Amino acid sequence: MRTEIATLGEFGLIDRLTEGIKLENESSKYGVGDDAAVLSYPSEKQVLVTTDLLMEGVHFDLTYVPLKHLGYKAAVVNFSDIYAMNGTPRQLTLGVGVSSRFSVEMIEQLYEGVRFACKEYEVDLVGGDTSASINGLTLAVTAIGEVAKDKIVYRNGTQVNDLICVTGALGGAYMGLHLLEREKRALAGHPNPHPKFEGYEYILGRQLRPSARLDIIQELAKSDLVPTSMIDITDGLASEILHLCKDSNKGARVYLNRLPIAQETNRMAEELHADPVVAALNGGDDFELLFTVPLAKQEEIFALGIDVIGHITAPDTGVALVTPDDQLIPVQAPGWVAEKQESEANNEG
Ligand code: ADP
Ligand code: MG
């Protein structure tokens, strides 16, 4: 079934997309329907705002990303940014620019994903904007949240000897992306493509249906643990550790053999003749949290089952990876490992 958006018009479409939304959060006073949403946060809270712009062909590829998954992920990655401040997301707004290639039903699928994510994370969809576009699909997503003033965590608070913690396995989403790209290439031009995805559920899930670590933020709060610095891992561990260290003016040692990498990620890497450690360091989209705590909190961190991958050092020692045979590899910029391997391969040849 394909209903042209023109038959509904802008207001008809907005009505369809936002039908039946109920506001669940205390701070959401008024949602969709007026010129602006109305929010009210208590004065002891800080309000957090984060936004993402997602362009078709740049940030997502609809040949292999279902619209429902795109909507879900677009919402969840914004929630992840609020969690990375040690906050709780409460509201979401969503702007969509949409070309005539898209039907009402397609945009409804997108919203099904967004609304599913909002339900799961208890966030209210309180507004947005809708426009025609010449080409493709554009999404502008904004999440708004809250955090107690003394619990807010920036990127810049880490101290020497702090432990570097990571909340889950890395590199899986990147391997999922590789699988999707491989099937896309293999099936290009096929009239009725049947990609081979059986057995790859884990890495595909990491790429298409990521989680934001609400559970960790809740557990840290329960244990009365406030990290000294925190960031969510969107562009790979290497890039994020550099952000933390640069903003905190510190160095770091990260032990390569401590990086959490799932079996499924290792298996896919082997199949592609790729290095899973490179995926963990430079692959994107894992949405785990990277944070630091004082050394004295070690027991509590282990009790939560969180991996400690290294520690913070003085600024003049630089940011470096420690290999299993105790060699130091400086972390300069994302991409360094791939370059290093290429040059090694060239030297061999
Ligand atoms: P305005 O002309 O002030 O931009 P609109 O007619 O675009 O207002 O929007 C009317 C209402 O519908 C507003 O509350 C707005 O937040 C909401 N809205 C518009 N587009 C969307 C959308 N894509 N998703 C959610 N809410 C939307
Ligand atoms: Mg508008």
For 95-153, how does the pLDDT look when each residue is reduced to its tens digit (9 = 90+)? 999 999 999 999 999 999 999 999 999 999 999 999 999 999 999 999 999 999 999 99
Distance of alpha carbon 69 from alpha carbon 190, whole angstroms: 23
- Cα 147 to averaged position of ligand 1 atoms, centre (Å): 27
- Cα 14 to averaged position of ligand 1 atoms, centre (Å): 7
Distance of alpha carbon 302 from alpha carbon 277, whole angstroms: 23
pTM: 0.94
φ, ψ dihedrals at 146, nearest 5°: -140, 155
What are the CA-CA distances from residue 318 to residues 302, 321, 331, 333 (Å)? 26, 10, 8, 12
Of 30, 129, 138, 141, which is best to mutate to test ligand 1, by the most ligand atoms within 8 angstroms of its C-beta? 129
Supply the residue whose CA is at minimum distance from atom 2 of ligand 1. Answer: 35
- Note the ligand closest to the C-alpha atom of 115: 1
Nearest partner of 318 among 308, 307, 333, judged by Cα: 333
Residues contacting ligand 1 via CB (< 6 Å) = 14, 17-18, 32-35, 94, 96, 127-130
Task: Please report the pLDDT score of residue 335 as a whole number.
Answer: 47
Kindly state the average pLDDT of the residues 25-45: 98
Task: Please report the pLDDT score of residue 195 as a whole number.
Answer: 86
User: What percent of the chain lies above the pLDDT cut of 90?
Assistant: 92
pLDDT tens-place string over residues 9-32: 999 999 999 999 999 999 999 999
Task: Please report the pLDDT score of residue 196 as a whole number.
Answer: 86
Supply the residue whose CA is at minimum distance from atom 16 of ligand 1. Answer: 127
- Cα 98 to averaged position of ligand 2 atoms, centre (Å): 13
- Note the ligand closest to the C-alpha atom of 34: 1
Whether residue 123 contacts residue 81, with contact meaning beta carbons closer than 8 Å, is answered with no
- Cα 33 to averaged position of ligand 1 atoms, centre (Å): 7
Angle (deg, nearest 10), helices 214-222 and 67-83: 20
